Structure 1
Amino acid sequence: MSMDIGGSEGNEKFYDDDGRLRRTGTLWTASAHIITAVVGSGVLSLAWCIAQLGWVGGLITMVVFSFITYYTSILLSYCYRSGDPDSGHRNYTYMDAVRSHLGEGQVKMCGYLQYVNIFGTAIGYTIAAAISMIAVVRSDCFHRNGHGAVCNVPSNPFIIIFGAIEVVFSQIPDFDQIWWLSILAAVMSFSYSFICLYLGIAQVVANGVLKGNMTGIVVGTEVTKMGKLWRVFQALGNIAFAYTYSVIIIEIQDTIRSPPSERKTMKKATFLSVSATSVFYIACGSMGYLAFGNSSPGNLLTGFGFFDPFWLINFANVALVVHLIGAYQVFSQPLFAFIEKWAVKKYPNSTFFSKEITVAPGVKLNLFRLVWRTAYVVITTLISMMLPFFNDIVGFLGAIGFWPLTIYYPVEMYIAARKIPKWTTQWILLEIVSLICLVVSVIAAVGSIVGIVLDLKVYRPFSF
């Protein structure tokens, strides 16, 4: 609920122009949020993606996705405020921006897409974290018992452990209070990215040759013609997943203090973050492909085996888990906020939904938040136990979320906000980009669905 600042000079020190407590976010905290959201488990599949597409297709695709992500993020930054992009009415969430610029009719569909994407991303992060925890346990087992030891480890206990951790962190109320978790997660993301890069270089040196080719996996000797096609489609979805973060850009922008305007700060933060992550992505994907060639693993960290330097690989996997703990929260906060605001509006007189209980100095607990967020984590955990297929899941999530949330809505909102006339050159170019990305999303989704169906033929869910 907003407060009337009444033009008081004293109050202006503590409240923004919309009556809310003054935002404290900076270029660096916004960059940390973006890096935490972008550099996630998707980086681990990029060497595999290049193996499917080859050097030419792989690197060109990564550069194109990087540019599209940056460009559409800039379009979205114009939509944080309605009217004047620097002083107009604020839109606190992605859905608020859609409502302001495109009307109520588009809001429900956008909400379904955004929150399904957030929910699915939480599942993908849970699976990736469990894989890394398993890798640490297996590495220790091999180190203690020898490389010939049988060190099979089930995934479900570790999926449950990650879920239990997220139950605790999910009680942090909102974005403003998880800035420290985002910074920690961003540091961890760079840590394991550097380690992946180093391990790739070390593997190349150990091999004595540079692996990989211009067109990727070879039809006839390594894969069938249809198998190649499905893998190429899936690789497109995986790369899309690796770059997707537009779904929470409005929420991140809403944490930034002004002046300067939030749009200008967000533009700089987006450039810094997307540039940095793109360099890491291309470097990690390229070195992984040089090291493993067409046999590049779906998860790069597990591809280096469980041998020396085992402690370094273990540290990288632990860093990945810590990063995913933070990334899970960064992505889930918009969905948390939406449900809780809806509940308070629906039941304004119920203390169950609105009352905060002090459980420790500086720590408050809300009963509805406790129940609903715990249920959310439990559901994502159970689905992760049913479908622990890293590459296929992230490819599918990238495919279904890429076009509508990263391309269609940002483009249409920008056209509406800037009042770009139909059939002008700028309008035509924006719509062509949107159409091309729609085709990419559809074929990527098809490839990932085929992969999931094939995985389900041999997997038994809930096995311990």
Structure 2
Amino acid sequence: MASEFEKNSTNMYVEQSPKGLENGQVQRNIDDDGREKRTGTVLTASAHIITAVIGSGVLSLAWAMAQLGWVAGPVILFLFSFITYFTSTLLTDCYRFPGPDSGKRNYSYMEVVRSHLGGFKVQLCGIAQYGNLVGITIGYTITASISMKAVVRSNCFHKEGHQASCIVSNYPYMVIFAIIQIILSQIQNFHKLSWLSMLAAVMSFAYSLIGLGLSIAKVAGVGHHVKTSLTGTIVGVDVSASQKVWRCLQSIGDIAFAYAFATILIDIQDTLRSPPPENKAMKRASLVGVFTTTLFYVLCGTIGYAAFGNNAPGNFLTGFGFYEPFWLIDFANVCIAIHLIGAYQVFCQPIYSFVEGRCIEKWPENKFIKSQHDINIPWLGVYNLSYFRMIWRTIYVIVTAIIAMIFPFFNAILGLIGAASFYPLTVYFPIEMHIAQRKIPKYSFKWIWLHILSWACLVVSLVAAAGSIEGLIQDLKTYKPFKPQDHD
């Protein structure tokens, strides 16, 4: 990760239309950096953000609220939303270097860090970003399989009764999910992904609204009595003292995961057309995305807690907090699966771009890596088939599916991924690059309060990671591999 593929990737696009450039023709389909004209808008960028953010994390918020209670739960949600939006505005200004409105484009998070900070921080960013992206794709494989099998279990409960075991294995559904991803992974890049993000965003709204509606119906139902409190689960009644501490910490990690999109922010910004300046459009998209998701999170978390109380399941749609109407539960879980199919692609495209760019940089004359074959697909146009892209992306999907089969845990995985990625990618690098870009004097008031924010978020991430690791250890103690189990 010591070097990026900036030069080579730029040359690739310049070489695609040399004749027009030589003849002095106006290249209306080429941007100022020689790449294909960007067509993204605030709408498409917002869709990418919502697809990335309103994900499986929303399903665990009722459980997180149950651990934290009526006071700490909403406060932490709003706190994470504010921090996420604030640092995202700092990061969007770093897309171009040296100034936010003009200058050299940076095509990835690593390139942004190289331009503004340089040194070992580039490698640190690469480890944090791509490790996080790999973790998210594994987590989405787990979550999608849980939602797929929940459809089968819902129908089983409807036929056999709510007390039936209805045990179903995750593994066949992980295989199905992997096959779908192998096909979709042949989508060339982020620029071709807008339609899938739009579909995924609609699906995320659909299942969030269904979960919200079912929770409201449960709260309004006759004879509804559940136990809630200002501080959440009660020590000595619902949980032990140690369980209370660990679960609260894991809940913070879950909420952090629910706001994770800094890893792909630069990739999304690189799809935006200009004018208006990319940073201004991206700030508007970030505001729309964070505001929309926070509204959904508060509603789903608080009303979900009101519906289930301190016994809220880890995933209120697949954990069967609801059994009826079974057909609506089935539809919601299908929406979750479709959404995660799109979200998987949104998060793995930066991985694909990085690996393929590095390979082209290292072996520029290799025909297997560089060669592409035009295939005319009816109604879809011409597709550029690359055997290298097809083989390596297929291998990546298979590897993530195998890892997901080995560790099919939901809440602990979400919390660990959120805790590990939140501080370096959402807080540390945006703040450090903002200080470097604006040349903020050391020990000035602004420098001090930015570092206080950074250190506070580091402490939060460390304790959240500790809680998630403890939860993962407990899951491992009770897990029996290669047997049908439920980790919802």
The TM-score with structure 1 as length reference comes to: 0.97
The question of whether the paired residues in 2 share the 8 Å contact of 1:156 and 1:463 is answered with: no
1:110 corresponding residue in structure 2: 125
Query: SS of the counterpart of 1:69?
Result: helix
Q: CA deviation at 1:110?
A: 0.7
- Among 438, 446, 454, the alignment partner of 2:458 is 438
1:130-188 CA-to-partner distances (Å, cap 9, x unmatched) read 11111100111222344444411111111111111111111111000111000000000
1:20-48 CA-to-partner distances (Å, cap 9, x unmatched) read 11100001000000100111100011111
1:297-324 CA-to-partner distances (Å, cap 9, x unmatched) read 1101134446321111111110010000
The question of whether the paired residues in 1 share the 8 Å contact of 2:313 and 2:321 is answered with: no
Cα 1:8–1:97 shift into 2, 3 Å: farther
1:97 corresponding residue in structure 2: 112
1:316 equivalent to 2:316? Answer no
1:172 equivalent to 2:187? Answer yes
Query: SS of the counterpart of 1:11?
Result: coil
1:339 corresponding residue in structure 2: 355
Q: How does 1:220-235 map to 2 (within 5 A)?
A: 220-235=236-251
- Among 239, 258, 261, the alignment partner of 2:274 is 258
Q: How does 1:69-108 map to 2 (within 5 A)?
A: 69-108=84-123
Q: Aligned partners of 1:55 and 1:76: how far apart in 2?
A: 32
1:103-140 CA-to-partner distances (Å, cap 9, x unmatched) read 14311111011000000000111111111111100111
1:22 equivalent to 2:37? Answer yes
1:394 corresponding residue in structure 2: 414
Q: Aligned partners of 1:294 and 1:149: how far apart in 2?
A: 24
The question of whether the paired residues in 2 share the 8 Å contact of 1:138 and 1:306 is answered with: no
Cα 1:320–1:9 shift into 2, 3 Å: farther
The question of whether the paired residues in 2 share the 8 Å contact of 1:52 and 1:228 is answered with: yes
The share of aligned pairs that are identical, in percent, is 54
1:427 equivalent to 2:447? Answer yes
Q: Aligned partners of 2:50 and 2:70: how far apart in 1?
A: 25
1:287 equivalent to 2:289? Answer no
Q: How does 1:274-423 map to 2 (within 5 A)?
A: 274-305=290-321, 307-361=323-377, 362-423=382-443
1:186 corresponding residue in structure 2: 201
* Gap regions ≥5 residues in structure 1: none
The question of whether the paired residues in 2 share the 8 Å contact of 1:24 and 1:255 is answered with: yes
Which residue identity does 1:139 align to in structure 2? S
Query: SS of the counterpart of 1:217?
Result: coil
Query: SS of the counterpart of 2:238?
Result: coil
Q: CA deviation at 1:8?
A: 8.3
Cα 1:19–1:459 shift into 2, 3 Å: same
Kindly tell me the number of residue pairs found equivalent between the two proteins. 464
Q: How does 1:108-257 map to 2 (within 5 A)?
A: 108-206=123-221, 207-209=223-225, 211-257=227-273
1:223-282 CA-to-partner distances (Å, cap 9, x unmatched) read 111111100110010000000110110110000001010011001111011001100000
Query: SS of the counterpart of 1:463?
Result: coil
Q: Aligned partners of 1:11 and 1:339: how far apart in 2?
A: 33
2:79 corresponding residue in structure 1: 64
Q: Aligned partners of 2:216 and 2:279: how far apart in 1?
A: 39
Query: SS of the counterpart of 1:14?
Result: coil
Cα 1:295–1:367 shift into 2, 3 Å: same
1:33-89 CA-to-partner distances (Å, cap 9, x unmatched) read 010011110001111111111110000000000001100100000000012211111
The question of whether the paired residues in 2 share the 8 Å contact of 1:54 and 1:216 is answered with: yes
Q: Aligned partners of 2:198 and 2:342: how far apart in 1?
A: 9
Which residue identity does 2:465 align to in structure 1? A
Q: Aligned partners of 1:71 and 1:305: how far apart in 2?
A: 35
Cα 1:272–1:204 shift into 2, 3 Å: same
The question of whether the paired residues in 1 share the 8 Å contact of 2:182 and 2:397 is answered with: yes
Q: Aligned partners of 1:248 and 1:325: how far apart in 2?
A: 16
Cα 1:8–1:37 shift into 2, 3 Å: farther
Cα 1:345–1:208 shift into 2, 3 Å: same
Which residue identity does 2:68 align to in structure 1? L
The question of whether the paired residues in 1 share the 8 Å contact of 2:228 and 2:305 is answered with: yes
Query: SS of the counterpart of 2:318?
Result: helix
Moved more, 336-345 or 83-92: 83-92
Q: CA deviation at 1:293?
A: 0.6
Q: Aligned partners of 2:58 and 2:145: how far apart in 1?
A: 16
Q: CA deviation at 1:210?
A: 6.4
Q: Aligned partners of 1:300 and 1:430: how far apart in 2?
A: 37
Which residue identity does 2:355 align to in structure 1? I
Q: How does 1:447-458 map to 2 (within 5 A)?
A: 447-458=467-478
Query: SS of the counterpart of 2:179?
Result: helix
Which residue identity does 2:111 align to in structure 1? D
Q: CA deviation at 1:208?
A: 3.5
1:42 corresponding residue in structure 2: 57
Q: Aligned partners of 1:323 and 1:416: how far apart in 2?
A: 38
Query: SS of the counterpart of 2:258?
Result: helix
The question of whether the paired residues in 1 share the 8 Å contact of 2:96 and 2:105 is answered with: yes
Q: CA deviation at 1:460?
A: 1.7
Cα 1:101–1:140 shift into 2, 3 Å: same
